Structure 1
Amino acid sequence: MSAFTATEPSAVAADNISLYRAIWRWHFFAGLLVIPFLLNLAITGSIYLFKDQIADTFYAHRHIVADTGATLPPQKIVDATLAAMPGAKATSYREAAAGNRSALVTVSTAGQSTLVYVNPHNGEVLGSVGSRQEFGWVVKRIHSLEYFGTWTNRIIEIVGGFALMLVVTGIYLWWPRRQTGGVLTVRGTPSRRVFWRDLHAVTGAIAGIVIFFLAFTGMPWSGYWGANVNAWLTSNDLGYPAALWDKVPKSTKVTQDIVNRPGWIVENAPVPLSDAATTSQPIGLDKAVEIARGLGLAPGFSVALPAGETGVFTASIFPADLSKERTVHIDQYSGKPLIDLSFDQYPALGKAIEWGINVHQGQEWGLFNQLLMLATCIAIILSCITAVMMWWKRRPAGRLGVPPMPPQRSVYIGLWLIAIVFGAAFPLTGLAIVAMLLIDQTILRFVPPLKRFFS
């Protein structure tokens, strides 16, 4: 009994050291891989948070007009746009959100989409920009790396999963273990490694929950995970209420094909068809806008124009106030609302995801939300910088300085279980973790030059 009692503390201590080293090593590898991408996410995310203020400042000539009272009918605004854009075809119209704001007409020319800003009071064209050159669009696509292609967007999906893992493992490494500093205080000066270690740990501990929230709520936009989750929610009646489409004919198009910036929950919702067999004449844009206003859509809504004889008018708005989120498909002949979908009709899980996305974009609580997300982005940047600094100060000359493998290799069983859990939740991240573990346990262990360089 005495021998057992004497050896137990050392065994527990060895296991704790092994677990700490294993998690530290994994945290290091994950950070090494994702720091450049996290910096991109934080910097572009900070800019995107204030895209509206930036647009109104640097592109005021397109967005701001003098409020002179009455506005032109929507069709006259579209006609003025087409007169200034010979050969173009109008695809959507967005009414001015207020008397001092411009209207927006989207036109298509030779397969290229262009946004045209128009003074709603006199029909003057204020300026135009390609849909894929618009400031907010470019920043958002660089943020997700979708700007550079599908495979780069998949990298960001992997990074999002690693960011979740970094927060969890970082909290474990930060957790107080009898030390007096580095918990909520920073020791030393910038010339010492402990200063950067403590600043990294304290920053992560304070901002960790919000960083985790940002990483998780960003995942719905990912190409693989987000698309599959969206499809799963819909098939299980947890996304948009699919039953609304049971009694209307559906086209092969989905909402994101015709709406510039749809809500995430409804982006794959089908677009219904107008009854082309009727003898009625199309109601026209002016009447469609009048119907949308009568249904109570918030000012500033957009109307996608019918594409062909069976197309519909689609009035939609996705504002910061989620309670006003709305999508209405209107038969182009009868003017009947075929589908009228509002935020209140989403299932609870669908509402929660939309709310998370809204907070992620800094839209839920006005300026406070923007500043909170900005502070989180700054914390991510600071975490990246401090990670690089403390690594630089501890690395051996000519080597990478990866934390040593744990004394007890059995702890890797736990890491494999974590990899399986992450793989089930985020498949691309799980595959990356498996690849990382395999490289760590094979190539880096048995190839002497690499083992020496990474040590």
Structure 2
Amino acid sequence: MSLVSEPTPEGTASPPIAPPAPPHLRRSAWKGLALRMHFYAGLFVGPFILVAAVTGVLYALLPQLESWIYDEHLHVPATSRELPLADQVAAALATNPAGTLDAVRPAPNPGDTTRVLFTQEGLGESERWTVFVDPGTAEVRGELVTYGTSGVLPLRMTLDQLHRNLLLGEPGRLYSELAASWLWVVALGGLVLWIARWRARRIRRAADLVRPERGVKGRRRLLGRHGALGVWLLLGMLFLSATGLTWSTYAGAGISDIRAQVGWSTPALDTGGGDHAGHGGGAPGAPVPVRPGQFDSVLTAARGAGIDARQVEVGVPAEAGGPWTVTEVKRSWPTQVDSIAIDAGTGTVVDEVRFANYPFMAKLARWGIDAHMGALFGVANQVVLVAFGIGLVTVILLGYRMWWVRRPDAGRPAPLVGRGQFRELSQPVGFAVVLAAVAIGWLAPLFGLSLLAFLLVDAWRGYRAAQREAAAG
């Protein structure tokens, strides 16, 4: 729609300048713009969200299965007698692992094994070679690669990487970041459309927002199920989108910068030599001379300093003469992630970080990530994630089914909303939309780039359609 009159032959009256769109048309433009964005995002980003949902469901189902599959590595006959860590570490070292001793995780409960962890060349980031030792007999029960602070085993590690990067390494993380960047947009756009439809039908019962329309068939039935289920899943979609972005590549870096600037970063333990060698990746640094008996003295000092969680990791110094670290690794509720640095020579604490002293936003980030992974509330957390994942898969498939029913071909009606919805908005509102898109694109670059790609594709399709109409006319 042009806002100025076109040149006319001399002697003819110029058509008047088109007036601004009235308020009711602007409201329709808002709905149309939301519908086109929801459609494009659902159509092209939906597959990425679908893969993330399916792999997330599988990951949430695995802890109990993993415990059964690796029972020989994880479990031993319970005994009241437990050997010193020195004997257990010596037994692990006797297997001659091709790596550098990095840390020990004492058996947290009777019947569990102790984990002795080594860094090795060739392992991926956050991967360590782990020797499982019976704490009662010092018998080595097996050896496996484990991953991350949670120490997941190969089966769940594979699914974790599939969910994170499709087993493609760092480049593959773009898929999950793209899914997280758009999930909240799709969710809120769908809510806007669903509420607009609810108001247009002059329905005043709030219950009708969360249940499908009854007595209808075909596309209306699909739409009712898609919309109502989307409302039920809304908070979950916003939560998973936010927590997923916190550890993504590009948006995650931006979020970390913002948190650092406002004082919301997670405090880091000062060991005098940078991050501990075992907490950054699988490649070993220069070996640090360690006597197995030091693990017992360091753990005793840590217990005396208030490190009381059953699940802890005792880490060797990052460099010769540096402090040892003892870190709580219990991620379920209540969270226990205190950490201290200890001078092994004197047994004194040289630094400490207590979860109670985390900034509130750092605590929320910790809880959010652990809930995202299904660890915060145990089985209940897993059940909620599985139910949500199945619901999200259903919403996506219903959306694709609606598109298929109304797919553009000779036997179908024209699209519900044509191009040009943005031009119908008032200039201040249009400027605000552009400004918001730029700001979000700066914080989440993959969102900005993919949005630009959508606009270019839409413009190209409009140009091609105009060419075809001109040729036909």
TM-score, reference length from structure 2: 0.79
Does 1:371 find its partner at 2:383?
yes
Measure how far apart 1:55 and its partner are: 1.8
Task: Provide the rounded CA distance (Å) in 2 between the counterparts of 1:411 and 1:65.
Answer: 70
Measure how far apart 1:446 and its partner are: 1.1
Residue 211 of structure 1 corresponds to 237
Residue 410 of structure 1 corresponds to 423
From the superposition, tell whether residues 217 and 286 of structure 1 become closer, same or farther in structure 2 (CA, over 3 Å). same
From the superposition, tell whether residues 369 and 121 of structure 1 become closer, same or farther in structure 2 (CA, over 3 Å). same
Q: Residue 94 of structure 2: SS of its match in structure 1?
A: helix
Does 1:137 find its partner at 2:145?
no
Q: Residue 209 of structure 2: SS of its match in structure 1?
A: coil
Q: Residue 334 of structure 1: SS of its match in structure 2?
A: coil
Task: Provide the rounded CA distance (Å) in 1 between the counterparts of 2:254 and 2:466.
Answer: 42
Does 1:120 find its partner at 2:135?
yes
Q: Structure 1: which amino acid aligns with 2:440?
A: F
Q: Structure 2: which amino acid aligns with 1:89?
A: T
**In the TM superposition, what are the counterparts of 1:211-230 in structure 2 within 5 Å?**
211-230=237-256
Q: Structure 2: which amino acid aligns with 1:116?
A: V
Residue 250 of structure 1 corresponds to 272
Residue 14 of structure 2 corresponds to none
Measure how far apart 1:342 and its partner are: 1.6
Task: Provide the rounded CA distance (Å) in 1 between the counterparts of 2:61 and 2:349.
Answer: 35
From the superposition, tell whether residues 361 and 111 of structure 1 become closer, same or farther in structure 2 (CA, over 3 Å). closer
Q: Structure 1: which amino acid aligns with 2:302?
A: A
Residue 265 of structure 1 corresponds to none
Task: Provide the rounded CA distance (Å) in 2 between the counterparts of 1:407 and 1:12.
Answer: 16
Measure how far apart 1:138 and its partner are: 2.3
Deviation digits for residues 92-149 of structure 1, max 9, x if unmatched? Answer: 1111110111111112444543122221111222222223672333222221217312
Measure how far apart 1:168 and its partner are: 0.8
CA contact (8 A) 1:78 1:90 kept: no
From the superposition, tell whether residues 399 and 99 of structure 1 become closer, same or farther in structure 2 (CA, over 3 Å). farther
Task: Provide the rounded CA distance (Å) in 2 between the counterparts of 1:310 and 1:450.
Answer: 75
Deviation digits for residues 222-255 of structure 1, max 9, x if unmatched? Answer: 112223322442354322346x74xxx732x325
Residue among 240, 261, 266 paired with 2:266: 240
From the superposition, tell whether residues 104 and 283 of structure 1 become closer, same or farther in structure 2 (CA, over 3 Å). closer
Residue 14 of structure 1 corresponds to 25
Q: Structure 2: which amino acid aligns with 1:258?
A: G
From the superposition, tell whether residues 291 and 158 of structure 1 become closer, same or farther in structure 2 (CA, over 3 Å). same
Does 1:295 find its partner at 2:305?
yes
Task: Provide the rounded CA distance (Å) in 2 between the counterparts of 1:421 and 1:108.
Answer: 41
Does 1:26 find its partner at 2:37?
yes
Q: Residue 31 of structure 1: SS of its match in structure 2?
A: helix
Residue among 145, 169, 172 paired with 1:149: 169
CA contact (8 A) 1:17 1:406 kept: no
Measure how far apart 1:208 and its partner are: 0.6
Task: Provide the rounded CA distance (Å) in 1 between the counterparts of 2:468 and 2:172.
Answer: 29
CA contact (8 A) 1:82 1:88 kept: no
Task: Provide the rounded CA distance (Å) in 2 between the counterparts of 1:425 and 1:240.
Answer: 20
Residue 105 of structure 2 corresponds to 94
From the superposition, tell whether residues 407 and 226 of structure 1 become closer, same or farther in structure 2 (CA, over 3 Å). closer
From the superposition, tell whether residues 23 and 86 of structure 1 become closer, same or farther in structure 2 (CA, over 3 Å). closer
Q: Residue 131 of structure 1: SS of its match in structure 2?
A: strand
Deviation digits for residues 51-94 of structure 1, max 9, x if unmatched? Answer: 43222122212112110221111121111112123544321111
Segment of structure 1 superposing worse, 172-181 or 192-201: 172-181
Q: Structure 1: which amino acid aligns with 2:369?
A: I
Residue among 346, 354, 358 paired with 1:346: 358
CA contact (8 A) 2:52 2:179 kept: no
Task: Provide the rounded CA distance (Å) in 2 between the counterparts of 1:306 and 1:202.
Answer: 55
Segment of structure 1 superposing worse, 28-37 or 145-154: 145-154
CA contact (8 A) 2:86 2:293 kept: no
Measure how far apart 1:438 and its partner are: 3.3
Segment of structure 1 superposing worse, 367-376 or 211-220: 367-376
Deviation digits for residues 2-61 of structure 1, max 9, x if unmatched? Answer: xxxxxx9x9444333322222111111111222222122212222333443222122212
Residue among 45, 50, 64 paired with 1:53: 64
Residue 460 of structure 2 corresponds to 443
Segment of structure 1 superposing worse, 174-183 or 349-358: 174-183
Measure how far apart 1:260 and its partner are: 7.7
Q: Structure 2 stretches of 5 or more lacking a match? A: 1-18, 148-152, 282-287
Residue 335 of structure 1 corresponds to 347
Q: Percent identity?
A: 25
Residue 269 of structure 1 corresponds to none
Task: Provide the rounded CA distance (Å) in 2 between the counterparts of 1:28 and 1:77.
Answer: 59
Find the structure with the greater CA-based Rg. Answer: 2
Q: Structure 1: which amino acid aligns with 2:229?
A: T
Does 1:174 find its partner at 2:194?
yes
TM-score, reference length from structure 1: 0.82
Task: Provide the rounded CA distance (Å) in 2 between the counterparts of 1:45 and 1:31.
Answer: 19
From the superposition, tell whether residues 259 and 322 of structure 1 become closer, same or farther in structure 2 (CA, over 3 Å). farther
From the superposition, tell whether residues 50 and 292 of structure 1 become closer, same or farther in structure 2 (CA, over 3 Å). farther
Measure how far apart 1:449 and its partner are: 9.8
Task: Provide the rounded CA distance (Å) in 1 between the counterparts of 2:292 and 2:108.
Answer: 26
CA contact (8 A) 1:188 1:194 kept: no
Segment of structure 1 superposing worse, 325-334 or 21-30: 325-334
Task: Provide the rounded CA distance (Å) in 2 between the counterparts of 1:354 and 1:296.
Answer: 21
Q: CA RMSD in A?
A: 3.3
Q: Structure 1: which amino acid aligns with 2:80?
A: G
